[in-house]
Amino acid sequence: MTDLGPARRQLARLQATPEPLKKVLRPLKNFLFTMHRDEAAAWVLERPESSDERSLDVLRFGACDFRETESAHTMAAPVGWPKYMAAEMERQGTRLAFQNLFVWHFEDFPDEATMLKRRRRRRGAPDVIVIQTGGFPAMRHVLGFNIWSFLARENMGRHLGWWMHPIWRVISVILMAIGRPAPWSPPDPGLRDFVAMVRRTWPGVPIEFWRQSDPVLRGFWKESVADRLLDEALPILAELDIPVLDPPPIPHTMALRGANGMNLNRRGSLAVGGWYADHLIAKYGELAKTEAERRAQRSTAAEPTSADAVPVAAASVDAASVDARPAVPTGPAAPTEPTSQSTTK
């Protein structure tokens, strides 16, 4: 049972605070510690209801680097490259159904009940599963990771706007000097157990591991920790026969990044979204189905099968076979301007 004692004591202290002091502190609290709506977390693409539209349902287990940030990384930042990936796939004739479940590190995967009952109850099995996580332990920090430091960073980033670009240059130097990495989270056994659970739950659904792009600003990332994470994860992925997709081949420059050097800005999100769309269409385009085909597949799966029937293993995807792309691939023509637009930061 959860111990409610500390929470009750804290509530009692708050209630005992004199009202005049509350009035003085309330504006400061609202300025520094307001919790805003998470715009990107609420972004989901449902399958089309039309019986003649084919869609590819992609379920991503990953961190928040898919947000599009022109300046600071905040919860109010909109979803980035998945939106442009969807536009490019639709231009090529396939609708994207997409859902992201936040996983910051390898010990943070959801359990089966959470994944099925709370997140996929209506949607059922996806067509493709993408794992794009693990880098959290490589993040440098000074103030730690708690609700107060998180909200302070969140709100200061929102208030400062574009000024976060020069400020992050200073923060990067400070982090390299005195920053320490986040708590360590090894790939094993979290990654191995999660893949086993997914394959038991949705036999035959292909799984890919998409490597995260390294930040441009060196202070944000402790490279030795990031290298250790990858060195430990790659043998497990090879053992589990999960293909690894390298980061999109875009220039390693702040012209395509937000203030922290990690998240992509609009131009970078366009380039990455178009590149990922080409990859999914080339490798998994044949898995796209109409809703009528999905219903027929579910009906067939529900019928009794012979005792010796086994699920067909998903085909591996060789990341090296992806077509070579220019330094900045062309994203979808609509609804945004072309990726060749110059960006000054």
pLDDT digits (tens, 9 = 90+) for 50-107: 778 899 999 999 988 899 999 888 888 889 999 999 999 999 999 999 999 989 899 9
| Complete DSSP assignment for 28-96 | HHHHHHPPPP-TTTT--BPPP--TT--EEEEEEEE-GGGB--SSS--TTPPB-HHHHHHHHHHHTT-EE
Domains assigned to the chain: 36-290 (3.40.50.1110)
| Encoded tokens for 129 | 């599963």
| Encoded tokens for 165 | 């670009």
Of 220 and 272, more confident: 272
| Its pTM surpasses 0.85 | no
Q: pLDDT by residue (tens digit) across 191-240? A: 999 999 999 999 999 999 999 889 999 888 999 999 999 999 999 999 99
Nearest to 107 by CA among 40, 182, 218, 35: 182
| Complete DSSP assignment for 149-164 | HHHHHHHHHHHHGGGH
| Encoded tokens for 251 | 């220039």
| Encoded tokens for 244 | 């690894």
Helix, strand, or coil here: 128? strand
Residue 246 CB-half CA count within 13 A: 10
**pLDDT at residue number 41:** 80
* Cα–Cα distance, 161 to 35 (Å, whole number): 17
* Cα–Cα distance, 49 to 28 (Å, whole number): 47
| Encoded tokens for 276 | 């990922």
